Every structure is written in C-alpha cells, then in structure tokens.
C-alpha cells in the first residue's frame, strides 16, 4: 500500500527561475520527469507512476533564459560499436517558477563510433498508383512523408531490379512543399513482369534510403490481335 501525504515539502527544485531543461537519451524517445502534484490529488486515479516525485529521467542539463544553446558531452557508454550507428534523442522543455511545460517533440540524431553525426534519411513513402499506359509506358505516383529527424532527400530515384529490358533510372527532385511525386518509364517490354525500387538520395547519392521495394507490375505495349475468319465477297 502506498500512502500519499497531503503536504509534501519539496527540497529538490530543479525548475527554479526561468530557463530550459535539456533531455537526451539513447533511442528514439525520452523519459521525461512526470508532472508534480504538490498537494495530494483529490481526484487522481491514473498511473501510480505519476505520484513519484523524483523518478529517474533523462534531464541532462539546463540553461537559464535568455540562453538558447547548450553543449552536451555524449557519454562514451552511449557510443556504438565500430562500424555501427546509434540513435540518440534530444529535447528541450521550458520551465519557470518551479513549473515545467510538458510539451515534447524530440529530435533524433544518428551517431557513429567516433561520436560524429551520421547523415541519414528518415522519411517514408507510400505508393499511390501504378498506371499502365500505351506503348509499354508506366506512370508511378507516390507520396513522401517527410520527417523532422535526419536530413531531407535531394531526389528520388526509381531503379529496375528485375525485368526483361533495362530502362534507365528515373529521378524526380525533392521539394519541401511537395507531397505527391510522379515518375514515368517509357517503352517497357510487353506482357513482362518488372520490379522496381524507390530510393531517396541525399548528399549527391552518398546517403540513400530504400523507401519502397519492390514495386511490381506487368507492362502492356501491344493492342488487340488481328481479326480472324475474314470473309470477302462482292455485293
């Protein structure tokens, strides 16, 4: 049984004055300090964890207003093994007069074994339609869902992974204000199955992410066959 006293005297006051708390944690999310309830909850029936006054959190530092930057040394234990990468989430929360604003919106950064940032693409895509056109042409439409994390792509590349002919890769430039993109391949082989991958590229192709794999379809380059049973007569 857990007793909750009515008048708890708070000794630790991390949110005195005006400032910003800085949070950092390995992974893609952060354990925040729970909101405090000072005088005992008359109605509260939620998570018992809410009552813990000093839970373990990932608040790694703070700055007083009007400072707008904070340097954090990433502990050696957070660094990944050689050749691997690790994701670290960061966030800030404002506080004033012992009250911290519980807004959240972490930014996730990927680091390598040297503690340097790794450029990566975090967005995702969804194939909206595959339209077979005359002459073996195929139009593919997709939507790109940008992310706050990672870097933005410079372009999207559609490349063939299997199929009877070898069409050139098709690209379309990324735009931060555009959501739906369209790529058309021309003159693919008739009645043949193709597979394509959609890849996002950044840093002139040095950073890539395969967004959709595979995209499959069978091109159609031929019309109906000739008529049959032809009868000729003069009338």
Partner 1 sequence: MPFLQPNITSVTWTGPNALRVRFTSTCVGCHHQLYIGRQFVGETGTTIEREIVASYDPGDYPEHLTILAVSGSDVGVDHGGKLPRIPVARARISFDTTGWPSDTKIIEVASNTAEGGAVDDSNIVGQIPWEGIATYEFLSDPREWGDHTFRIRGRDNRPTDGNAGTETDVNIATTSYPADVQISNGARLSVSVASSTAEISWSL
Q: Which residues pair with 22 in a beta bridge?
A: 61, 92
User: Which C-beta is closer to partner 1: that of 79 or that of 219?
Assistant: 79
Choose one: 101-109, 161-169, 198-206, 208-216; the region binding partner 1 (CB under 8 A): 101-109
Judge contact between 210 and 199, C-beta under 8 A: yes
Q: Which of 25, 32, 58, 111 binds partner 1 (CB under 8 A)?
A: 111
Applying CB under 8 A, the site for partner 1 has a residue count of 46
Task: Kindly tell me which of 117 and 182 has the beta carbon lying closer to partner 1.
Answer: 117
Rounded to whole angstroms, what are the CA distances from 54 to 24, 32, 128, 140, 154? 18, 11, 48, 54, 45
Q: How far apart are the C-alpha atoms of 58 and 72, rounded to whole Å?
A: 12
Of the candidate spans 104-112, 136-144, 212-220, 226-234, the one that interacts with partner 1 by CB under 8 A turns out to be 104-112
Which residue in this structure is represented by tokens 């008739």? 190
Q: For residue 110, which of 228, 28, 222 has the smallest C-alpha distance?
A: 28
Q: Tell whether residue 74 is a contact of partner 1 (CB under 8 A).
A: yes
Quote the DSSP letter at residue 137. -
Residues that bind partner 1 (CB under 8 A): 18, 20, 22, 24, 35, 37-39, 41-46, 65-66, 68-74, 76, 79, 88, 90-92, 94-97, 99-101, 103, 105, 107, 109, 111, 114-117, 148
């Amino acid at each position: 049984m857990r007793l909750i006293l009515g008048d708890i005297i708070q000794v630790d006051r991390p949110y005195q004055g005006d400032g910003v708390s800085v949070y950092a944690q390995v992974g893609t999310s952060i354990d925040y300090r729970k909101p405090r309830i000072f005088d005992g909850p008359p109605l509260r029936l939620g998570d018992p964890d809410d009552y813990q006054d000093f839970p373990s959190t990932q608040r790694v530092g703070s700055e007083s207003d009007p400072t707008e930057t904070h340097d954090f040394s990433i502990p050696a234990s957070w660094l990944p093994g050689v050749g691997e990468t690790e994701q670290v989430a960061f966030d800030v929360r404002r506080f004033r007069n012992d009250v911290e604003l519980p807004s959240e919106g972490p930014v996730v950064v990927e680091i390598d074994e040297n503690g340097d940032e790794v450029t990566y693409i975090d967005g995702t895509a969804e194939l909206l339609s595959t339209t077979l056109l005359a002459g073996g042409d195929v139009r593919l439409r997709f939507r790109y869902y940008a992310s706050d994390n990672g870097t933005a792509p410079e372009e999207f590349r559609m490349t063939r992974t299997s199929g009877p002919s070898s069409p050139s890769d098709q690209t379309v430039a990324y735009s931060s204000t555009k959501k739906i993109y369209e790529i058309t391949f021309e003159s693919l082989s008739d009645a043949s199955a193709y597979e394509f991958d959609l890849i996002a590229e950044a840093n002139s192709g040095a950073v890539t992410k395969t967004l959709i794999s595979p995209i499959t379809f069978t091109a159609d380059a031929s019309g109906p066959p000739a008529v049959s049973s032809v009868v000729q007569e003069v009338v």
